[in-house]
């Protein structure tokens, strides 16, 4: 049975051959420990990692390779950022589309040190002006940070980052972005969008292998450490160095993983950002149009095309649909997708079935998915399997 | 003095700081056509522990120093 992978919002699959080749080359040829010695393998690894920092900066319009902090994933990067910046009494604004990667660290900080947070409305598909007006009504004198996703993980709605960034700068709020779903799919320019920090995984839209994410720091912030340990620098000091990236990178970095991420970014560069947007849009619209012609299917936000489509089917629990598709070799994700706020906002209170496209999906994948769903419908109607 | 002659072949060492800071310095010199190798500096306790820097022809020593200053890259003080 041929496998069709439509769960790229969880992790992209397959990876481009160059990603695997680069990781294997690193492991087999020169995988030392970067910044932990002066021998050739340590230097080669440091060079590989620094090149990846440069590629990330170039792709995302970040200010400085030295302010690329590698972490184990995007969730860790968000934790590092929020826990390293927020103090007791601070107030935070988040959107109504946030993932638990944002919500849970904030809730933990609310309980542990007494921060507070409020949710602003996207509802979704409000205009940028409406969103900014809502942010202003919820802003308090102690609002220090606004953090939001660029694109929801359950639909293709993307927040107007440039407008929100301008508003935050004007009001003296720090602006943080969770780019877990958008990096590699949508254009991002940290400096133009006035983003103070941005977190992303390496293994989703950027096509690296699982095992690293990163936090990009703007010039205005200097987070405290989340964990402490060896940094390969100032070893005689009992405290972490004050300078980045070492301050945020205690312990050994996964050089093969970071090397693979750089290959993924290079691969994306070969495709081009505009082509990726068009690729996602074409697949979304093909699926939307076919599902619209099938009885009993509801698509959430059908008018907003992009890499992610959420649907449900009358009378069938979403997990049953997900299981059926899985049994027939089609990988989608059903349920709540770690995003209760977003499901509440979309009105998908019972969860949904998420189809998320990646660089290697084709229109034939969409057609096979729809044929399989039709077969499922038929079996359901006649009471079979 | 932040630079020192390290051997009689005319190679000078510039002590910078972390491995990433040293690579940033290396890139700044590269942009000006100076090729420098990343090294781990000898120094131990005097430098607070581990320290990285660059090795380059001594002929280019003064020019390299100027370039790093222009790029706001700190040279480690011995």
B30: helix, strand or coil = helix
End-to-end CA distance of chain A: 18
- The answer to whether the CB of A68 falls within 8 A of the CB of A82 is no
C-beta atoms of A43 and B38 within 8 A:
yes
Residue A187: which of A115, A254, A280 has the closest Cα?
A280
Q: What is the pLDDT of residues B17-74, one digit of tens each?
A: 999 999 999 999 999 999 999 999 876 676 677 889 999 999 999 999 999 999 999 9
> Tens digit of pLDDT for each residue in A154-191?
999 999 999 999 999 999 999 999 999 999 999 999 99
pLDDT at position A201: 98
- C-alpha span between B78 and B68 (Å, rounded): 17
Residue B6 has pLDDT above 60, yes or no: no
CA atoms within 13 A on the CB side of A253: 32
Q: Which of A43, A236, A241 sits opposite B18 (nearest CB)?
A: A241
Find chain B residues with C-beta within 8 A of A238's C-beta.
none
* CB spacing of A65 vs B20 below 8 angstroms: yes
Mean pLDDT of A301-329: 96
| Alpha carbon of A268: minimum distance to chain B alpha carbons (Å) | 24
Closest CB from A42, A236, A245 relative to B49: A236
Q: Select the residue from A37, A42, A47, A50 to test the B interface by mutation, using most B Cβ atoms within 10 A.
A: A50
* A384, pLDDT greater than 70: no
Round to whole Å and give the CA distance between B29 and B31: 5
Residue A232 DSSP one-character state: S
Is pLDDT at B2 greater than 90 in this prediction?
A: no
Residue A46 to residue B19, Cβ atoms within 8 A? yes
pTM of structure: 0.94
Q: Is A232 in Cβ contact with B50 (below 8 Å)? A: yes
**What backbone phi and psi angles, to 5 degrees, belong to A292?**
-65, -30
The answer to whether the CB atoms of B20 and A231 lie below 8 A apart is no
Provide, rounded to the nearest whole percent, the portion of chain A with pLDDT above 90. 95
Of the partner residues A43, A66, A237, the one whose CB lies closest to the CB of residue B20: A66
């Amino acid at each position: 049975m041929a496998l069709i992978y439509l769960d790229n919002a969880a992790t992209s699959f397959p990876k481009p051959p160059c990603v695997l080749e680069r990781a294997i080359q690193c492991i087999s040829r020169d995988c030392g420990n970067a910044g932990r010695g002066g021998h050739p393998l340590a230097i080669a690894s440091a060079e590989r990692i620094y090149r990846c920092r440069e590629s990330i900066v170039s792709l995302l319009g970040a200010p400085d390779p030295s302010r690329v902090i590698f972490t184990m994933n995007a969730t860790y990067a968000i934790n590092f950022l929020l826990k390293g910046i927020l103090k007791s009494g601070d107030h935070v604004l988040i959107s109504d589309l946030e993932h638990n990667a944002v919500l849970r660290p904030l809730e933990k900080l609310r309980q542990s040190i007494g921060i507070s947070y409020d949710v602003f409305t996207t509802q979704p598909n409000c205009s940028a002006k409406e969103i900014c007006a809502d942010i202003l009504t919820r802003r308090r004198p102690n609002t220090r940070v606004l953090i939001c996703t660029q694109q929801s993980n359950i639909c293709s709605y993307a927040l107007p980052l440039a407008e929100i960034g301008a508003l935050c700068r004007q009001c003296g709020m720090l602006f943080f972005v969770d780019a877990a779903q958008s990096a590699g799919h949508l254009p991002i320019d940290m400096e133009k969008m006035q983003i103070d920090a941005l977190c992303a995984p390496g293994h989703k839209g950027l096509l690296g292998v699982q095992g690293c994410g990163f936090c990009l720091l703007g010039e205005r912030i200097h987070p405290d450490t989340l964990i402490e340990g060896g940094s390969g620098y100032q070893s005689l000091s009992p405290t972490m160095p004050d300078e980045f990236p070492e301050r945020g990178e205690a312990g050994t970095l996964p050089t093969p993983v970071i090397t693979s991420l750089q290959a993924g970014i290079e691969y994306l560069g070969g495709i081009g950002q505009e082509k990726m947007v068009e690729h996602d849009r074409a697949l979304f619209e093909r699926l939307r149009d076919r599902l619209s012609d099938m009885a009993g299917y509801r698509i959430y936000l059908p008018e907003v095309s992009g890499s992610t489509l959420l649907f449900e089917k009358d009378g069938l629990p979403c997990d049953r649909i997900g299981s059926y598709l899985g049994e027939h070799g089609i990988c989608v994700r059903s349920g709540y997708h770690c995003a209760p706020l977003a499901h509440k906002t979309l009105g998908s209170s019972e969860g949904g079935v998420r189809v998320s496209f990646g660089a290697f999906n084709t229109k034939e994948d969409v057609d096979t998915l729809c044929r399989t769903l039709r077969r499922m419908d038929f079996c359901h109607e006649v009471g079979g399997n | 003095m932040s630079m020192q002659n390290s051997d009689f072949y005319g190679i000078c060492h510039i002590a910078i700081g972390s491995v990433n800071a040293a690579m940033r310095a290396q890139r700044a010199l590269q942009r000006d056509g100076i090729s420098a190798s990343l090294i781990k500096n000898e120094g131990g306790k005097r430098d607070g522990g581990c320290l990285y820097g660059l090795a380059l022809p001594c002929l280019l020593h003064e020019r390299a120093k100027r370039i790093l200053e222009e790029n706001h890259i700190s040279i480690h003080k011995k």
